[in-house]
Structure 1
Amino acid sequence: MRASRVRRGLTAVATALATAATATAATAGAAPQAPPEPATADVRLITFNDLHGNLEPPTGSSGEIELDDGGTVEAGGAAYLAAHLERLRAEVPNSLVFSAGDSVGASPVNSALFHDEPTIDFLNSQDVRAHVAGNHEFDEGYQELWRMATGGCHPQDGCEFRDSFAGADFPYLGSNVTFEGGAPALLPFTVQLSGGVPIGVIGATLHDLPSSVSPGAVRGLEFGDEVEAIDRTADALDRIGVKAQVVLLHQGDEAESGGPNSCDVAPGGPAHRIAAAVTPKVDALFTAHSHQQYTCTVPDPAGAPRPVLQGASYGRLLSVLDLRVDRASGEVVRQGSRARNEVVTRDIAPDPEAAALVEEAREKAAPIANRAVGTTAGDLLREPAPSGESSMGSVIADAQLESTADAGAQVALTNPGGVRADLPHASSPAGEGDGVVTYGEAFAVQPFGNTMQTITLTGAQLKGVLEQQWTPEGATILQVSAGLHYAWSESAPIGSKVSGLTLHGEPVVPDAPYRVAVNNFLAGGGDGFTGFLEGTDVTGGKLDLDALLDYFAAHPGVVPPSADRIEVQG
């Protein structure tokens, strides 16, 4: 925790104590008493999640929000996010702003080129008071997360955005994140005063976070059960007299349809499971990670309703929770709570301070970001077909196969979560022209800097990997390179869904060796694909972004591939 935040917290506590002392003295003396303080305090909590360094308004489908009536509206952008925050704070002066994780990592080039320092500066400017560590906060390891928190120039690249970097003015939370041996690696909670009442903020990240990052990024860390950690922390807050408690949970459900304030989510999701189980001491949960929009009410174990909500991603929604807190007991009056998601529309004047920061990042990144690297003949989109394949994912897989040909690769597979943006055919606001792909656009698609690896799997092991695409929690369909074809059955049981696996029209032989190209995240068993760990004869390769850049350079006018590599059967 930064010293400035500590000082501010101590000052707030001292002010509250002094106010209480003054009121007591006035009551004891003969001086006229001030009007009695209201029995309850109204406090507004505002949270965003999964910003991913999107300082500029995101484009394509990533810059739209589906409304309750089925229509869409353009949304997002740091300058508009700041303007809406100012409006919401003006409505309720006792307001606190939080982040539910993944503010950095997988970021566009304007933030990522500078190791996301511009995004941290933006969060500081918005007086964010607490931030749970998401999985992407660990993309570059714990030491980089610590640098984000405490400041200092990057150990290799120095300070490239500004002459110095002060770090975050807010604490990173993670009640279930420990070092091996059990010592806390992050603060479990923070207490914030608002309206004269203390609000306990508990942070918890997904317990299976190691499956979402490269193994080396979380070496030496352990991620415990979310419910156990939240309950333990809630008990500690209760013991010190903090009764109003909320959770920043970097875990979420999948929404099946609906606008920002619907609750049409897939049953049995992790956020609902956690929300139904954690102690009744917790009054609300802000969720994240799944990039979905929903506003739900889930009964706690005592049967009392409490809000559970998530605000999509990329700064397109703000999750707003209005609490009524009893001043005498410190408890939240549940029936007085109101939760909703508000769209960060672009129909209001942008905040000038935030706009200046965005423009500074854009100008400093422009010489690299606006360089043309290729052309396309149509939209390359990450929205999947019913089979699970997408045109953007197919192009990435083709690029990775081509980049690993020298290592003998016969097929390439890539994870859909690594495909981070569309490549629209229309020109971006930078004015490069229709069909022109810039470095910045390509970077937004492949921002992780994963290294390609080529491994040997038997045909049976390759089929086994494909069977791992389905789990009881849902499906993660890998993107496949041209030449590989198979069918999967919706009705078949998990573990037996794949059939008709061929390579260039020939059946894949179970005991024959095949050279398979994957990024190092998948090679390490990421996203639960542990079958890749069986690979042998590992050969290193290029960065995934470089593979995509080389592919665009070698193939002018890339045509969106047809969705015919994977077939869906009944």
Structure 2
Amino acid sequence: MAATLAAATFAAPASAAQRPADTTDVRLITFNDLHGNLEPPSGSSGRVTLADGTTVDAGGAAYLATHVKQLESEVKNSLVLSAGDNVGASPVSSALFHDEPTIDFLNDLGVQASVVGNHEFDEGYRELQRVQFGGCHPTDGCQFRDRYTGARFPMLGSNVTFDNGLPALLPFTVKFSGGQPIGIIGATLEDLPSVVSAEAIQGLEFGDEVEAINRTSGWLDRLGVKAQIVLLHQGDNSEGGPDDCQVDGGPASQIAKGASASVDAIFSAHSHMQYNCQIADPAGNPRPVIQGLSYGRLLSVVDLKIDKRTRDVVRASTVAHNEVVTRDVTPDPAAAALVEEAVTKAEPIANEQIGAITGDLKAAGGESGESSLGDVIADAQLEATSANGAQIAITNPGGIRADFTYASSPAGEGDGVVTYGEAFTVQPFANIMQTITLTGENLKNVLEQQWTASGTRILQISSTLHYTYSASAPIGSKVSDITVDGTPVDPAATYRVSVNNFLAGGGDGFTEFTKGTDLAGGPVDLDALIAYFGAHSPIAPPAADRITVVA
């Protein structure tokens, strides 16, 4: 049972010395990065790797609901929370309806609070507000159900402000569980502008996570709210099983080390990893920092004991674990019915054939980072923008969300058949193509920006562009032998380059694209892909010989 904060100060009542019965047990049940996966995800996206290396099928809204209810039944006082990316980059059964089915599911699940992830901004701040507060989509209306009433839980963001400094989202909420107030702080990644199109977050700013958490924690301290947790949409990379702590010491760990000692647990997200760590706060006291993969495959569970006298968490008694959302339980009937409703309503569009392939088109790149699917998508975007004088097309690997597989899917459409739903899953962001003019020097700089101190992102390129890179050369000097249509690139010459609006705005750190001039608009990336399949099917996997890597 839970109730929401009213404006008040929570003073601890006077009491005798603490006895064992003078604590309240509270269970926090959290998931992250659901991305609208109502149906059980397939392939590796639907499996959890355990500590011994074995895998188990996991995920699916109806199974998730069953596991949540079981966990709630074990502890009288429980809160269900989300660490963000509930929506966005979703399968077609949710995305076709602007993720309204997913929000309806989360409402039914009893989610009490969520932080915003980067994908909550995919369709812009105004759409995020509609998802939060309800109302039909301004263009498509209410297609899933006759009415859409919005999320019955707050979407938090303590470090999200308008460019005038005013808060754009609630920084925190307070929930009562077992009579105890629990402060819930939301913070999303500071570098969100690098992974969301510039138009989607125009007028917004994203501040330092630690500064925002500590400022908000101070407010809660002054309100007398001693039990505090953070929903953090930022993560580390990791290895190991669900309850191992083999993290790389990345952003989540660094934020955890700096976040106020008043915070008793941190639920992490964004990196789609699994870990269960104890990281010391600035006062030297360990606290859980935990993440549960993605797509509803794990539930991160933190059990707190709250002192009834001080209303603070007895930190030494905190227990955390990641619970696998196995599929060996009875699916929750209400959740299963909602999923079936969404799937059934999406089927007429999702199952429409748009083309065919002769073999698998994979999103993952080979040694050079070039992928067969990336090649096809870039070629499709080049063809779709030819009227703009495009000579080259370049797309970001993060925008390619799935493979096209030759084998028939469970829908039974037949080997080699490509459906609208499959294409939507591959390109779900509705990014708009733009053609810009870059110099040869700009183009070289773009390609060099694929390597940074924090990692490598290999752009996918059309068949008109070829280059070589040295794996051992220093960052900034890796690329050579760039050609366009077989002719070496002249640093002073100009070239018409098609990219999506995310890259055009400098997304993923490719800031050189923002120097482009003479912008001309084009179609949505998904429409470009569908048109290409219509014109060229069956499509064979390309040779993936556009990028050459040398030692």
TM interval, shorter chain, is over 0.9
Shift in Å at residue 546 of structure 1?
0.7
TM-score (norm 1): 0.91
1:429 to 394, 404, 410: 410
1:43 — aligned with what? 26
d(CA) in 2 for partners of 1:68, 1:561: 37
Q: Secondary structure at the match of 2:48?
A: strand
Q: Does 1:234 align with 2:217?
A: yes
Paired letter, 2:519 = V
Runs of at least 4 residues of structure 1 off by over 3 A?
Answer: 503-506, 567-570
2:423 to 422, 434, 442: 442
Indicate the larger mover: 188-197 or 500-509. Answer: 500-509
Q: Does 1:155 align with 2:138?
A: yes
2:100 — aligned with what? 117
Shift in Å at residue 119 of structure 1?
0.7
1:528 to 509, 517, 521: 509
1:409 to 372, 390, 401: 390
1:71 — aligned with what? 54
- Listed as ranges, the matches of 1:344-355 within 5 Å are 344-355=325-336
d(CA) in 2 for partners of 1:135, 1:559: 34
Q: Do the aligned partners of 1:422 and 1:445 also contact (CA within 8 Å) in 2?
A: yes
Q: Do the aligned partners of 1:62 and 1:421 also contact (CA within 8 Å) in 2?
A: no
- Listed as ranges, the matches of 1:118-267 within 5 Å are 118-255=101-238, 257-267=239-249
Paired letter, 1:261 = D
Q: Do the aligned partners of 1:60 and 1:422 also contact (CA within 8 Å) in 2?
A: no
Shift in Å at residue 79 of structure 1?
0.9
Q: Secondary structure at the match of 1:354?
A: helix
Q: Secondary structure at the match of 2:542?
A: coil
d(CA) in 1 for partners of 2:540, 2:76: 53
Task: Assess, with a 3 A threshold, how the Cα gap between structure 1 residues 352 and 249 changes in structure 2: closer, same or farther.
Answer: same
Task: Assess, with a 3 A threshold, how the Cα gap between structure 1 residues 170 and 134 changes in structure 2: closer, same or farther.
Answer: same
Q: Secondary structure at the match of 2:513?
A: helix
Q: Do the aligned partners of 2:4 and 2:173 also contact (CA within 8 Å) in 1?
A: no
d(CA) in 2 for partners of 1:323, 1:379: 48
2:4 to 9, 15, 22: 9
TM-score (norm 2): 0.94
d(CA) in 1 for partners of 2:135, 2:35: 21
Q: Do the aligned partners of 2:451 and 2:475 also contact (CA within 8 Å) in 1?
A: yes
d(CA) in 1 for partners of 2:545, 2:48: 29
1:293 — aligned with what? 274
- Listed as ranges, the matches of 1:472-487 within 5 Å are 472-487=453-468
Paired letter, 1:515 = R
Paired residue total = 549
Shift in Å at residue 462 of structure 1?
0.5
d(CA) in 2 for partners of 1:333, 1:383: 46
1:61 to 44, 47, 59: 44
Indicate the larger mover: 370-379 or 556-565. Answer: 556-565
2:361 to 358, 365, 380: 380
What RMSD in Å do the two structures reach over aligned CA positions?
2.4
1:555 to 536, 539, 547: 536
Q: Secondary structure at the match of 1:145?
A: helix
1:357 — aligned with what? 338
Shift in Å at residue 296 of structure 1?
2.2
d(CA) in 2 for partners of 1:397, 1:491: 27
Q: Do the aligned partners of 2:469 and 2:480 also contact (CA within 8 Å) in 1?
A: yes
Shift in Å at residue 136 of structure 1?
1.3
d(CA) in 2 for partners of 1:569, 1:245: 52
- Gaps spanning 5+ residues in structure 1: where? 28-35
Cα shift readout 1:138-171 (whole Å, capped 9, x = no counterpart): 1222221111111111122221111111111101
d(CA) in 1 for partners of 2:277, 2:394: 36
Q: Secondary structure at the match of 2:120?
A: helix
d(CA) in 1 for partners of 2:283, 2:507: 37
d(CA) in 2 for partners of 1:309, 1:478: 31
Task: Assess, with a 3 A threshold, how the Cα gap between structure 1 residues 533 and 54 changes in structure 2: closer, same or farther.
Answer: same
Task: Assess, with a 3 A threshold, how the Cα gap between structure 1 residues 487 and 332 changes in structure 2: closer, same or farther.
Answer: farther
d(CA) in 1 for partners of 2:281, 2:487: 55
Task: Assess, with a 3 A threshold, how the Cα gap between structure 1 residues 261 and 483 changes in structure 2: closer, same or farther.
Answer: farther
Q: Secondary structure at the match of 1:70?
A: coil
Task: Assess, with a 3 A threshold, how the Cα gap between structure 1 residues 196 and 444 changes in structure 2: closer, same or farther.
Answer: same
Indicate the larger mover: 132-141 or 121-130. Answer: 132-141
Indicate the larger mover: 243-252 or 302-311. Answer: 302-311
d(CA) in 1 for partners of 2:302, 2:325: 16
d(CA) in 2 for partners of 1:520, 1:8: 42
d(CA) in 2 for partners of 1:515, 1:500: 19
d(CA) in 1 for partners of 2:464, 2:321: 47
Indicate the larger mover: 377-386 or 107-116. Answer: 377-386
Paired letter, 2:231 = L
Indicate the larger mover: 212-221 or 355-364. Answer: 212-221
Q: Do the aligned partners of 2:88 and 2:120 also contact (CA within 8 Å) in 1?
A: yes
Indicate the larger mover: 299-308 or 436-445. Answer: 299-308
Shift in Å at residue 508 of structure 1?
2.1
Shift in Å at residue 509 of structure 1?
2.1
Shift in Å at residue 10 of structure 1?
6.2
Paired letter, 1:393 = G
Q: Does 1:515 align with 2:496?
A: yes
